[in-house]
């Protein structure tokens, strides 16, 4: 798409990951062609484009972690890896003619609401401005990298990168490698690189529950059967849905106990008793983000793998020093420290009605009505916004994009210039949401989960505490009175 200083569009979508693609498909199906997707990368896929570390794969079975409108019959294994998921998303961009709407290598810097005109000005880092009636944020939770705040980290003269920006050109073979942060990405990449390196040090702040994840590739016979029987894939999808529909609500005490038992059984496979103790969590399953792997615990039986639980004091030009005075010399440091998951759209400069900044509106933490609309920011919708993390993300994104489409149809049918969720509606929704979150016992335990779940104020801003069924029911209601609206031309 040619660069011009300012262009006008009906809809601007920010991000060409799963959310942006899903929204683009919905717009195309509705006959809306006047939209543009602004993507800071040079390819589609979002999380699956950026996270190319060894072992990257989904924790939700692919028969469910796929869109209902584009079910793939021949996933190579139950939990697909990054490359296969990225291929799937690229296929959607092409099949549904969404790719031509994408401006790649286009990073959004600022959004400013023009109230008199009833439009948004979306400014990019390269000086362009996209003028739009509707803006849809599809940047989600995993947009801003979190780097560890460790003294001396910039003094390290070896190789250092974040797991979310993997250095594919560097060979780790025979090196002394330190991985800082052992959570979602760390437990996937560490078993993959452990056979390659001379020595692997895993710096763990808090032990995690890592439960089984049987992920043997499907046989040729199984794949042939799925290809010939789409109904079998649909049945598998429904069975997986039934599990995830309640799993992430953390309300089934017996299920939680079973998960803990399965985790303890896997930890028992670690031969060294001291390492076993360090790997055993002292909080209930679900307090922190649950992790899944069949490869993680066996890795600790390798002679070249050491678990380090002492706090890092500082990093030098060639080593990491822990508070007990131990110095471990390293060739490469990999920061597997995740993302600023609670920031959402505040990673950009957003100004709404009356010049209010989104950072001020969210001073108590990110919040929105149904996770999609924030009072004072008309015609702005969010996909994978606050408190929408639950079960299969792709299922949740379909429900959110359908909800947004209903609002766009209403604007068209009623000739509306803008719509803005009423403050009292958003407040009541979020007050009840926080009350419901407080009823989830495992989230009240002390496990250092502030980084992933909570904003600086302590507000729980990432998780949907109910089932996916309940989210579907809530987002399917007409709720026309929830929004203040203004007719065009008035």
Report helix, strand or coil for 479. Answer: coil
- Shared fold status for 6-144+340-487 and 153-209+251-335: yes
362 and 390 Cβ atoms separated by less than 8 Å:
no
Give the phi and the psi of residue 285 in degrees, each rounded to 5.
-60, 130
Cα–Cα nearest to 253, from 284, 280, 282, 211: 284
Rounded CA separation 136/6 (Å): 18
CB proximity list for 11: less than 8 A, separation 6 or greater: 27, 32, 34, 35, 36, 132, 133, 134, 135, 136, 408
C-alpha of 2 from chain center = 31
Name the burial class of residue 161, with classes exposed (0-12), middle (13-18) and buried (19+) by CB atoms within 10 angstroms of its CB. middle
Q: What's the pTM?
A: 0.96
CA separation for the pair 401, 175 (Å, rounded): 46
Task: Return the ∠ at Cα 77 (arms to 74 and 78), rounded to 5°.
Answer: 100
Q: Are 197 and 64 in contact (CB under 8 A)?
A: no
Residue 360 in 3-state DSSP?
A: helix
> Could you list the pLDDT tens digit for every one of the 490 residues in the chain?
444 588 999 999 999 999 999 999 999 999 999 999 999 999 999 999 999 999 999 999 999 999 999 999 999 999 999 999 999 999 999 999 999 999 999 999 999 999 999 999 999 999 999 999 999 999 989 888 999 999 999 999 999 999 999 999 999 999 999 999 999 999 999 999 999 999 999 999 999 999 999 999 999 999 999 999 999 999 999 999 999 998 889 989 999 999 999 999 999 999 999 999 999 999 999 999 889 999 999 999 999 999 999 999 999 999 999 999 999 999 999 999 999 888 999 999 999 999 999 999 999 999 999 999 999 999 999 999 999 999 999 999 999 999 999 999 999 999 999 999 999 999 999 999 999 999 999 998 888 655 688 888 889 999 999 999 999 999 999 899 999 999 998 6
C-beta separation of 283 from 447 below 8 A: yes
Domain boundaries, the chain: 6-144+340-487, 153-209+251-335
Tokens of 182: 């052992």
Determine if residue 458 is left, alpha or beta; phi over 0 gives left, psi from -120 to 50 gives alpha, anything else beta: left
Report d(CA 296, CA 290) in Å as an integer.
Answer: 14
Residue 387: which region, alpha, beta or left (left: phi > 0; alpha: psi -120 to 50)? left
- The CATH superfamily of 6-144+340-487 is FAD/NAD(P)-binding domain (3.50.50.60)
Alpha helices in 316-467 (DSSP H): 358-361, 393-413, 423-437, 450-453
Return the pLDDT at 96.
98
Residue 304 · residue 173 · CB < 8 Å: no
Contact 374, 361 (CB under 8 A): yes
- Return the sign of the alpha-carbon dihedral for residues 80, 82, 86, 89: positive
Q: Which CATH class is domain 153-209+251-335?
A: alpha beta
Please report which residue ranges of 135-216 form alpha helices under DSSP H.
186-193
CA distances from 185 to 51, 210, 447 (A): 9, 12, 19
Q: What angle do CA 476, 477, 483 make, to 5 degrees?
A: 120
Determine the pLDDT at residue 2: 45
Cα–Cα separations (whole angstroms), residue 168 to 31, 161, 162, 164: 40, 11, 12, 11
Residues forming beta bridges with residue 129, ordered by sequence position: 6, 123
């Amino acid at each position: 798409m040619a660069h011009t200083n300012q262009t006008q569009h009906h809809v601007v979508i920010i991000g060409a990951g799963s959310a942006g693609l899903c929204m683009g498909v919905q717009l195309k199906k509705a006959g809306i062609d006047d939209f543009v997707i602004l993507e800071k990368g040079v390819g589609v896929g979002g999380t699956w484009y950026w996270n190319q570390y060894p072992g990257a794969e989904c924790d939700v079975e692919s028969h469910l972690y796929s869109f209902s409108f584009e079910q793939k019959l021949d996933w190579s294994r139950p939990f697909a890896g990054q490359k296969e998921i990225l291929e799937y998303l690229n296929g959607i961009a092409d099949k549904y003619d969404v790719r031509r709407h994408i401006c790649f290598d286009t990073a959004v810097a600022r959004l400013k609401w023009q109230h008199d005109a009833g439009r948004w000005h979306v400014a990019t880092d390269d000086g362009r401005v996209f003028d739009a009636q509707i803006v849809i944020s599809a940047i989600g939770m995993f947009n801003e990298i979190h780097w560890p705040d460790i003294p001396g980290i910039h003094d390290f003269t070896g190789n250092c990168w974040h797991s979310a920006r993997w250095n594919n050109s560097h060979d780790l073979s025979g090196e002394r490698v330190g991985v800082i942060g052992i959570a979602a990405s760390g437990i996937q990449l560490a078993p993959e690189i452990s056979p390659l390196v001379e020595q692997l040090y895993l710096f763990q702040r808090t032990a995690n529950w890592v439960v089984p994840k049987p992920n043997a590739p499907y046989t040729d016979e199984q794949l042939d059967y799925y290809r010939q029987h789409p109904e079998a894939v649909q049945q598998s999808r429904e069975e997986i849905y039934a599990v995830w529909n309640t799993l992430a609500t953390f309300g089934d005490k017996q299920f939680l106990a079973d998960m803990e038992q399965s985790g303890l059984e896997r930890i028992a496979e670690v031969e060294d008793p001291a390492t076993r103790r360090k790997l055993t969590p002292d909080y209930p399953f679900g307090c922190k983000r649950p992790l899944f792997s069949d490869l993680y615990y066996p890795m600790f039986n390798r002679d070249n793998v050491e678990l380090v639980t002492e706090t890092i004091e500082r990093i030098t030009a060639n080593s990491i020093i822990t508070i007990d005075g131990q110095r471990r010399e390293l060739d490469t440091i990999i920061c597997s420290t995740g993302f600023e998951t609670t920031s959402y759209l505040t990673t950009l400069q957003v100004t709404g009605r009356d010049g209010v900044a989104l950072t001020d509106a969210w001073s108590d933490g990110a919040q929105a009505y149904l996770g999609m609309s924030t009072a004072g920011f008309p015609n702005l919708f969010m996909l994978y916004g606050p408190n929408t993390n639950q079960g299969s993300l792709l299922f949740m994104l379909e429900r959110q994009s359908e909800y947004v489409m209903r609002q766009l149809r209403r604007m068209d049918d009623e000739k509306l210039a803008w719509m803005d969720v009423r403050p009292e509606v958003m407040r009541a929704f979020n007050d009840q949401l926080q009350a419901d979150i407080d009823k989830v016992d495992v989230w009240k335990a002390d496990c250092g989960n502030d980084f992933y779940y909570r904003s600086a104020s302590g507000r729980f801003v990432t998780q949907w505490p109910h089932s996916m069924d309940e989210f579907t029911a809530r987002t399917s209601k007409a709720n026309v009175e929830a929004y203040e609206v203004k007719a065009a031309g008035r």
